[in-house]
Structure 1
């Protein structure tokens, strides 16, 4: 006979999906039966020292964990309380702006200036961007796009090697803009390897989605992290290209596009845009292989846009 979850179990499960962080933390602690003193002691046994007042402030929503040591405490609390990994941590989002960030001396490169729909992209993505936005660089990236027999891009699978250049990054923001005419809720995302989904943001009108990909540990400057993720589109509009925008330089970029018979393009070419203000230009012709695939490879990629375009009959 199936066992129905208790009211406390149901409340915790709901709050872990919806947040806010402090409510989920409070419910999980109450369900465990631990006092804050016992929770503090269990953390101390793991070499993590958090004061009672700090735990109380977290539980009441008067402050939230932001520093690397505090995030370690949240990860340990998940284990102590028997919660899924990253379930509490994913409710935190990026650190809140403070210090030089607020003063404007360290501003992120704005999203939404290199791809369309620009305004919708900015509105969707910038809600996930925090002070650590510039702490990662792309060492290499491989995008593989699949186009169905109707000419719709149905899947883009991405493999990235990220390198920490500053701070203690523990997440990466991935973005996908589908072709105009695609319903916003038709796009889904999957964390394939070495990452876990955090917050997901969709634009309410445009086919734009942004997602946090959480690592299982923070990175020190110089460390690299390999991850894979995939965007899929249930139903979409006919595509004429696939483009990837880079806000920071990239070591190596590989893009492949595979088409599905019977609809094959009659002409293919690469697309290049220098920086956020440059014009998108058609470059060299690309040959479609017998395997219905074409690709491009670029080294030492500057900020801008690279892609592959095609024409249908």
Structure 2
């Protein structure tokens, strides 16, 4: 990973403080945050970035130790690897280990899914993600509207990243107009692939609405690094993302990024009276659209 705004700010702040990495590690340890010197070195050089909840907690303590404003370093971190459903697309890279994903897709009867042209357009998508009091992701409910571009479309392929090999697979529950088909889990890479079979077969031009929920085990619930987002590899007409919190965060913001080298655009969000925030994207993509919070 190349040098980033976060690594440069961290390196500059450490140099200005006059503290060695050994002393920084000791300060973190005194605050109950064990971090290796190697990790601190990688963070300031840009070789790696903090993503896990424990690492983000360490950054918060670093801000205090280095005399920075709360959130001054955290706000410079780009989103971690996406958690949640993603759709493979022909000739484009995916957010998962490719060989592991190919093996998983073959098990659910879709060995050529990465190369095939999509025959279902995503017209509308609504994600509602529930964040538990411990900061982990309890469940996500998705409502999706498709439009067929060819006759005989009867299923949707779902690929889900558990958030690492340590996190167990979520339970898939079909709520409307679909049912689970074949489901396969790769525990080594923390991936699940599943078929969602439609209640009827679609012909060209027809639309279909499905709804499903992915529920994680807990508490404690799998950590989500204070963010949830989707990466769209093709344009989506409408995307609505809701995040509901059992414990209200200090502040939230939506963010978008068109490509890996593009600047991230942010917009502050306000919690509503139900303890939730939402953001809407219209005619969006390709790119990343998400919500983060502190």
TM-score norm. by structure 1 comes to: 0.57
Pick aligned residue for 2:139 from 155, 165, 171: 155
Assess if the C-alpha contact under 8 Å between 2:165 and 2:187 holds in 1: no
1:109 to 87, 90, 97: 90
Give 1:237's aligned residue.
222
> Where in structure 1 are there 5+ consecutive unaligned residues?
1-106
2:212 aligned counterpart, secondary structure: strand
Deviation at 1:268, TM superposition (A): 1.2
> Any stretches of 5+ residues in structure 2 without a counterpart?
1-87
Counterpart-to-counterpart distance in 2, 1:202 and 1:111: 23
Q: Say which structure is richer in strand.
A: 2
Q: What is the DSSP-based 3-state SS (H/G/I as helix, E as strand, rest coil) of the residue aligned with 2:193?
A: strand
Q: 1:46-57 alignment to 2 at 5 Å?
A: none
| Structure with larger Rg | 1
TM-score (norm 2): 0.61
| Change beyond 3 A, Cα 1:283–1:295 | same
Q: 1:164 aligns with which of 127, 132, 148?
A: 148
Alpha-carbon distance between aligned partners in 2 of 1:182 and 1:188, rounded to the nearest angstrom: 16
Equivalence for 1:179: 163
* Superposed CA offset, 1:185-228 (max 9, x none): 3x111111100111112222233222111113221110000110
Which of 262, 276, 286 is equivalent to 1:293? Answer: 276
The answer to whether residue 187 in structure 2 is matched with residue 204 in structure 1 is yes
RMSD: 2.6
Highest RCO, 1 vs 2 (Cα 8 Å, sep ≥ 6): 2
Number of paired residues?
199
Q: Distance in 1 between matches of 2:104 and 2:286?
A: 18
Secondary structure (helix, strand or coil) at the match of 2:201 reads: coil
CA distance in 2, matches of 1:211, 1:156: 16
Matched, 1:189 2:172: yes
Do structure 1's residue 122 and structure 2's residue 122 form an aligned pair?
no
Contact 1:159 1:226 (8 Å CA) reproduced: yes
| Structure whose residues are more often helix by fraction | 1
SS in 2 for 1:191: strand
Preserved CA contact (<8 Å) 2:145 2:210: yes
**Partner Cα distance (1:293, 1:120) in 2:** 38
- Do 1:268 and 1:286's aligned partners in 2 also have CA atoms closer than 8 Å? yes
